[in-house]
Amino acid sequence: MDASSLIAEYRRWLVFQRQEQLSQEHRGASERMAKAGVASNRVVEAYRSMADKGSREGACYRALFMRQRGSDDVLPCEGWLFVRRVLAEGGMTRVRAHLLETFTLEDGIIEPGDKPATKITLEIYDELKVERSMSTVSRVDRIDARGDTHFITLLDAVRGDLRKYMT
């Protein structure tokens, strides 16, 4: 095997390793939210705070989300979310934001500016879980495009230098 193909295989291995790391991180965060019984009203308040900090300071928040690939494959992706506003309409709460993707399995690690940010609309709602017992857990899904679901936006991972990529 020559050096260039060896380096290419190594880079490919790093992408798969990062994909597994994101899978574990998303699963762990989802489980912690479910155990804590985080309700949608608390998530709405968090997104309102993100919108406020975004308008004042240009704050962008790290987001993990699941993306449907093919018929059965669902894998996590990573990006940075710039929350523009939170709207409460007829019993539904929607979030208007820009998403700057920073990792997908297909593209690997994406540097800011390599791909344009996407305008997205998210919906926040309570999901009823029926397993051993009934419980509700907050869920955030993209509603303006199919396939992106289970958004988890991390309040402790904030950047202020990405706003220039969010237009």
Q: Rounded distance, CA 104 to CA 102, Å?
A: 7
* Domain coordinates in residue numbering, the chain: 3-165
Amino acid in position 18? R
- Tens-binned pLDDT, residue by residue, of the chain (167 aa): 788 899 999 999 999 999 999 999 999 999 999 888 888 999 999 999 999 999 999 999 999 999 998 778 999 999 999 999 999 887 899 999 999 999 999 999 999 999 999 999 999 998 776 666 666 789 999 999 989 999 999 999 999 999 999 97
Tell me the pTM: 0.90
Q: Is 143 exposed, middle or buried (0-12, 13-18, 19+ CB in 10 A)?
A: middle
Q: Rounded distance, CA 121 to CA 129, Å?
A: 24
